[in-house]
A = this chain, B = another copy of it.
Amino acid sequence: MEQKDNCKSDSCGDHHSHQEHQPGPMDDPEEQAHFKSVVSAFFNYSVDAVRDVARMERDFSKIDPKYLKYLPADFRKSRLEKLKKAIVTNQQVLNLIVSDYQQLFEYDKLPNGMVALKPMFIKPTDIIKMRSTLKSFLRDWSSEGKREREMCYGPIIKEINEYFPVPVDPSTGERKSVLHPGSGLGRLVFDLALQGYKSQGNEFAYFMLLTSNFILNVTQSKDQYEVYPFIHHFSNLKTEDQAFLKVKFPDVCPNEAMTIDKEYDFSMVAGEFVEVYSKQEAQWDCVVTCFFLDTAHNVIEYIECIHKILKKGGLWVNIGPLLYHYAEQPNEIQLELSWEDIEKIIPQFGFEFRKKYWTDCVYTNDSQSMMQMTYNCIFFSAVKQ
């Protein structure tokens, strides 16, 4: 996979492409500090996780032993040991993802030749994002996430295949181009590239960018690595084993699937969607938004940009709820529109709806949990007139 435009290969750790240095977000000192804070959340994962284990140990020790005797004799020891082991496994994967950036941090050389990073403070919101990233492995790149992907990506792929049945023109070699802003760990971008489309992902979050780069460019074989995505919550478990679900990834290895004898057009671009794309007028055959519209401060600006960058006759495909990301952040602007409002705005920009229906999706879901969050999503496709 190629990593380009606003994402310097230096900063995003791409090992497959070497472009010229273009001015990008990483030239901004504030952006560099932000990038470093995200990388530190990767390195510090186990420190924050072990703090939670210590709390659990403390709680066990504060409960009157007369109650604990109702549990199996090895209950406490067994849970804590499994937990610590799982944290180590997760940390090993996270270390690999950010291994290129260790030199950004102060560290001590230990007598055994290992290095120990100096303690860092990780923002609570970044700890949450780090743990969500672990669940995204399940969603995008594990066999356990298959049902979830079929619910979300299935209808999108079906619609694109129906509207653009020929990904590559056999005479000219020209490919239908699909842009997928908010591409997360990049599975849908990959699946579309594999079908022959010119497929580009765009992502704003370094947590996702670093991780997708690892999966797309570094992994070498199917099920090469494993993570424990659900060890951070012990609520709503039918069985304790649910918390220790081990997920292997990738279920399909991009480096194996994209054989050398065939060409693909597959790329990933870092940066905020409107900033990166608003000048690419009429350049795309298709834009895909999946759980993305609600990441906008102003969803109308997203609609404007999507309309602008599509070619005439181009297709916009959307699936998702409207869980506005900045709604709970008092210092951020958030325009919160209902679907009814958005549905009336889209045609005003010059779109004509092709399909439109409600469909249920889940997101990084533990299908065994006693708490099931289901998004009744709006699916639509719309053609630029």
- Residues of A whose CB lies within 8 Å of any CB of B are 55-56, 59-60, 62-64, 67-68, 70-71, 75, 233-240, 242-243, 294, 298, 300-301, 304, 321-324, 327, 330, 333-341, 345, 348-349, 369-378
26 inter-chain pairs at a CB distance below 8 angstroms, sorted by A residue, are: A59-B333, A59-B335, A60-B335, A63-B333, A64-B298, A70-B348, A235-B322, A235-B323, A235-B336, A236-B321, A237-B338, A237-B340, A238-B338, A238-B340, A239-B339, A240-B340, A240-B341, A242-B338, A322-B370, A339-B370, A369-B376, A370-B375, A370-B376, A370-B377, A372-B376, A373-B373
Quick one: given A304-B67, A376-B370, are A330 and B238 in contact (CB under 8 Å)?
no
Residue contact B233 to A70, C-beta cutoff 8 Å: no
- Number of copies of this chain in the oligomer? 2
Q: What's the nearest-Cβ distance from chain B to residue A376, in Å?
A: 5
Closest B residue by C-beta to A301: B67
Residue of B with least CB distance to A51: B330
Q: A322 — which chain B residues lie within 8 A by C-beta?
A: 235-237, 370
| Apart from A240-B340, A371-B373: 7 A-B pairs, beta carbons within 8 A | A56-B336, A234-B338, A235-B336, A239-B338, A322-B370, A370-B378, A372-B375
* B59 x A334 contact (CB < 8 A): yes
User: How far, in whole Å, are A335 and B59 apart by their CA atoms in the complex?
Assistant: 7
CB pair B301 A237 closer than 8 Å: no
Residue of B nearest to A239 (CB): B340
A335 to B75: give the CA distance in the assembly, Å.
Answer: 12
A323 contacts B236, C-beta separation under 8 Å: yes
Q: Please, which residue of chain B has its CB at the minimum distance from the CB of A304?
A: B67
A233 contacts across to B, CB distance below 8 A: 327
7 nearest CB pairs, A to B: A234-B336, A237-B338, A321-B370, A67-B300, A239-B340, A240-B338, A70-B345
A371 touches B236 (CB 8 A): no
Are A62 and B338 in contact (CB-based, < 8 A)?
A: no
Q: Are B377 and A234 in contact (CB under 8 A)?
A: no
Chain B residues, CB < 8 A from A236? 321-323, 375
| A378: chain B residues within 8 A (beta carbon) | 370
In Å, the complex CA distance between A341 and B74 comes to 13
Q: Chain B residues near A333 (CB, 8 Å)?
A: 59, 62-63
Residues in B with CB closer than 8 Å to A243 are 338
